[in-house]
A = this chain, B = another copy of it.
């Protein structure tokens, strides 16, 4: 459902949500290490996210990546849309082009409602809310 890249991206953004701010930018190297993702690889993903305004960055000395307040209010699904694309999230489980509510594929009725629920959650939950869950100890981000 999620690509490797998306998972890495979520981890990185969450890390920024927890540890960065406009006044406290973080260098790629210091993001890659704690979230345990290859530096050059996460660098590329961060670039994409930055270009699409999911996260913020400034270059040069004292530069780095960070999350502005408005960045933090975005729904989690925005990350996935950029990295994996809309299609991957919503396409039929059997990849049948012609599958839809009127002409459902055999798996459609079984999976559809759970799928909807998942998407709705990802739509509603903001990056900031996820970060708060971690801070409150309701969830964890090991390795």
Q: Which A residues lie at the B interface, using CB under 8 A?
A: 1-2, 4, 7, 10-11, 14, 76, 93-99, 103-111, 114-115, 117-118, 121-122, 125, 130-131, 133-134, 138-143
Contact = CB atoms under 8 A, between A and B. Distances in A.
Q: Which of A106, A108, A134 has the most chain B CB within a 10 Å cutoff?
A: A106
A108 B4 contact: no
A117 B114 CA distance: 7
Contacts of A10: 94, 107
B133 A95 contact: no
B99 A142 contact: yes
A26 to B, nearest CB: 19
Contacts of A139: 104-106, 108-109
Contact of A97 (B7, B117, B140, B143): B143
Contacts of A96: 141-143
A82 to B, nearest CB: 17
A94 B36 CA distance: 12
A106 B133 contact: yes
A32 to B, nearest CB: 16
B94 A7 contact: yes
A95 B117 CA distance: 21
A7 B142 contact: no
A1 B1 contact: yes
